[in-house]
Amino acid sequence: MKPWQTLLTEAIAADPRGRAGVAEMIGVSRATVSLLSSGNYPADPGPMSEKITSVYGRHHCPHLNTEISPRQCSQYANRRYPISNPREARHWRACQACPLKPEPEND
């Protein structure tokens, strides 16, 4: 089982709404989550695996000293410099030098 499939299975088991709750979190239909979890997804699962990993994946943030999702990491690292809050400015600077810093999203 691939890492994203493990994340999906664990997320479905942990969410009180099951597949519907996971579908809402990653922004796809319940049917898509059902097809992915059963291994019957007809298209390339690459984009879906990225969505699943960005919401449910975790890695250690050295600045916060806790586990965060890739989406949270990206939000911290790719935000504007916080000029009015020294604590947030230190966090931003730490993110800029972090080896885990993700590429900016082009939205």
Give the largest CA-CA distance in the chain: 50
What is residue 103's predicted lDDT score, i.e. its pLDDT?
A: 81
What is residue 95's predicted lDDT score, i.e. its pLDDT?
A: 94
Cβ burial, residue 103 (10 Å; 0-12/13-18/19+): exposed
* pLDDT by 10s per residue, the chain, length 107: 888 999 999 999 999 999 999 999 999 999 999 999 999 999 999 999 989 988 888 889 999 999 998 888 989 999 999 999 999 999 999 999 998 888 876 65
Contact yes or no for 59/3 (Cβ under 8 A): no
- Helices 70-77 and 86-97: crossing angle, nearest 10°? 110
What is residue 84's predicted lDDT score, i.e. its pLDDT?
A: 92
Distance, first Cα to last Cα, the chain: 31
Predicted structure pTM score: 0.65
Contact yes or no for 76/92 (Cβ under 8 A): yes
What is residue 70's predicted lDDT score, i.e. its pLDDT?
A: 85
Q: Where are the domains of the chain?
A: 1-57, 58-107
Contact yes or no for 61/73 (Cβ under 8 A): yes
